[in-house]
């Protein structure tokens, strides 16, 4: 999404994107504008993690060798 939560929201408020919550209302007000990055093998995606974000639906072939790998690296301090 292209919207950040207000600086005064606690973690429990902005980390809940369920329907009917304050985060959902904020996203609705923005028109739910988002950026979807299509899956490609060996792709790195870097983004501002202060923005609302969620993982898109995905489906891979069965088996351990076909699993998705997700690495999250956090740097610096969160700036409101």
Instruction: Write down the pLDDT at residue 79.
Output: 64
Q: Would the pLDDT of 13 be above 70?
A: yes
pLDDT at residue number 55: 84
- When the pLDDT of each residue in the chain is averaged and rounded to a whole number, the result is 83
pLDDT band at 19 (very low <50, low <70, confident <90, very high): low
pLDDT at 11: 78
Q: Which of 34, 80, 38 is nearest to 58 (CA)?
A: 38
CB 46 within 8 A of CB 76: no
Tell me: the pLDDT tens digits for 47-79?
888 888 888 888 889 999 988 888 888 887 766
Q: What is the pTM of this model?
A: 0.72
């Amino acid at each position: 999404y292209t919207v950040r939560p207000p600086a005064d929201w606690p973690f429990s408020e902005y980390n809940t994107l369920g329907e009917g919550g304050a985060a959902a209302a904020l996203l609705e007000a923005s028109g739910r504008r988002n950026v979807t990055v299509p899956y490609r093998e060996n792709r790195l995606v870097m983004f501002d993690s202060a923005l609302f974000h969620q993982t898109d639906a995905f489906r891979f072939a069965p088996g351990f060798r076909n699993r998705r790998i997700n690495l999250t690296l956090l740097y610096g301090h969160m700036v409101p």
